[in-house]
Amino acid sequence: MSKRPTPGGQQQRAPAAQRSSSVGVPRGSANRSLVPTNSRNNVIERIAQNPIRFHEENGMMVPDGYTSHVIRPAARGDVVTMARAMNRDFGSKAKAMFQSEVDAARDAIEQDLYISYRQPGKDFDCYRVGAIGKCFCGHTLDEHARFNGKVRRLKCQSGGCACEGFAYIPSRPDEVGEFWLAKRPGFDPSTWRAKCRCGHAHDRHEPKYKRCKECSCSNFNSNFLCAACSNHWEQHETFIERGSEREQQNLPTGEFYMPFAELPDMQQVILTGSDAHMPSPYLDAAPRQSLPQSGGMRGRSNALQGSNRPAIGYDEYSNPSARGESNANTSQKGPMRGRGPLRGSHQATEE
């Protein structure tokens, strides 16, 4: 028996979109509707019928078929080893980056005059300011008046400058975390300027009222963050203090004012440019005493000594006999003797 031809002499076909997304139900079935094969609803239904099952492991909910591994930080971090692994020239680059702070710290210890850049109320300095430190007006600290012990607003001595007080501002891209700029071909760090959100540099703003000279911007609002604390410039202040004043605020003085005083191995890199791992907590390159007003070792900061900021790389006790060492070790002289936490004496001898 032959099939009855459809009108027009040809058999009708389903639209292409329908053919690609469905299959026909066999003839004789009670339901002759088209069943979608690529429907999104089917996928959702399958997920609902077979949900992902979890089980508890180490206090965590883990999908079945997976295992959990708790990642714990190292008990004693070694920043030098990590940095050396990341950068073969780490030692020399780190020394160059912090050289201005090292020079500023040495001058501060010798003169018992600490000029620092930090947030008010904080127990650490974001930057140690030296003679070449840049002011908001665009001139260096050396171009401002000297501190006379009374007036702390150091006016700018450069002719025609309206600056009424030294206000430190970052002068290098690495101070605001823009380390990649130094890698650009032909980049000159001396041309870099910290900028406002209006797009103009700090030296294009009035030093007194901070109004922009190039646009309608009424106040300097930094478009950068401090690399030390991740806060804006306007949240910082420039402090000019004597050692005794800093001690009253539990701020570091003397040799503890040197960069990375709480990380001896890192400090060695900053002072010498060598990343060879040495156990000595202090080196001859670091000054060990300030003026009697600061008291040298007396000027230690409680902020650095507290249990919430332990010194990495130090043992638990400052007394070697407490660790059960022999008398031969306890009689050893030099920086290796009595290495303990920052709370105790480092026994760094002077030549």
pLDDT at 337 over 50: no
Which are the contacts of 269, defined by CB distance < 8 A and separation ≥ 6? Answer: 80, 83, 90, 91, 94, 95, 275
Q: Phi and psi (nearest 5°) for 28?
A: 95, -10
| Contact of 289 with 112, CB cutoff 8 Å | no
Per the structure, how many domains does the chain have? 1
Query: Using one digit for the tens of pLDDT, what is the confidence trace for 260-307?
Result: 888 777 787 777 777 665 544 444 444 544 444 443 333 444 434 443
240 within a domain of the structure (yes/no): yes
* pLDDT number for residue 21: 47
Which are the contacts of 90, defined by CB distance < 8 A and separation ≥ 6? Answer: 83, 84, 269, 275
338 within a domain of the structure (yes/no): no
Of 132, 128, 168, 114, residue with least CA distance to 299:
114
Please state, in angstroms and as integers, the Cα–Cα distance from residue 347 to each residue in 128, 259, 291, following that order.
Answer: 26, 19, 19
* pLDDT number for residue 218: 94
pLDDT at 195 over 90: yes
Q: What HEC string does the chain produce?
A: CCCCCCHHHCCCCCCHHHHHHEECCCCCCCCCCCEECCCHHHHHHHHHHCCCCEEEECCEEEECCCCCCCCCCCCCCCHHHHHHHHCCCHHHHHHHHHHHHHHHHHHHHHHCEEEEEECCCCCCCCEECCCCCEECCCCEHHHECCCCCCCCCCCECCCCCCCCCCCECCCCHHHHCCHHHHHCCCCCHHHCCCEECCCCEHHHECCCCCCECCCCCCCCCECCCCCCCCCCHHHCEEEEEEHHHHHHCCCCCHHHHCCCCCCHHHHHHHHHCCCCCCCCCCCCCCCCCCCCCCCHHHCCCHHHHCCCCCCCCCCCCCCHHHHCCCHHHHCCCCCCCCCCCCCCCCCCCCC
Q: Phi and psi (nearest 5°) for 206?
A: -65, 130
Which tokens belong to 230? 């991740």
Q: Give 311's pLDDT tier (boundaries 50, 70, 90).
A: very low
- 23 class by beta-carbon count within 10 Å (0-12 exposed, 13-18 middle, 19+ buried): exposed
309 within a domain of the structure (yes/no): no
pLDDT at 347 over 90: no
* pLDDT number for residue 254: 92
Q: How many CB atoms lie within 10 A of CB 257?
A: 27
pLDDT at 114 over 70: yes
Angle at 244 between CA 240 and CA 248, to 5 degrees: 95
Range of weakest confidence among 32-36, 120-124, 137-141, 317-321: 317-321
Q: What percent of the chain has pLDDT over 70?
A: 63
- 21 class by beta-carbon count within 10 Å (0-12 exposed, 13-18 middle, 19+ buried): middle
134 within a domain of the structure (yes/no): yes
Mean pLDDT of the chain: 73
Query: Using one digit for the tens of pLDDT, what is the confidence trace for 197-220?
Result: 999 999 999 999 999 999 999 999
Q: Most confidently modeled of 38-47, 91-100, 210-219, 321-330?
A: 210-219
Q: Give 169's pLDDT tier (boundaries 50, 70, 90).
A: very high
Query: What pTM was estimated for this model as a whole?
Result: 0.58
38 within a domain of the structure (yes/no): no
* pLDDT number for residue 312: 35
Q: Give 348's pLDDT tier (boundaries 50, 70, 90).
A: very low
186 within a domain of the structure (yes/no): yes
* pLDDT number for residue 205: 96
162 within a domain of the structure (yes/no): yes
Domain assignment of residue 229, given as a range: 113-249
Q: Give 126's pLDDT tier (boundaries 50, 70, 90).
A: very high
313 within a domain of the structure (yes/no): no
* pLDDT number for residue 97: 84
Average pLDDT over residues 114-118: 96
Average pLDDT over residues 1-15: 54
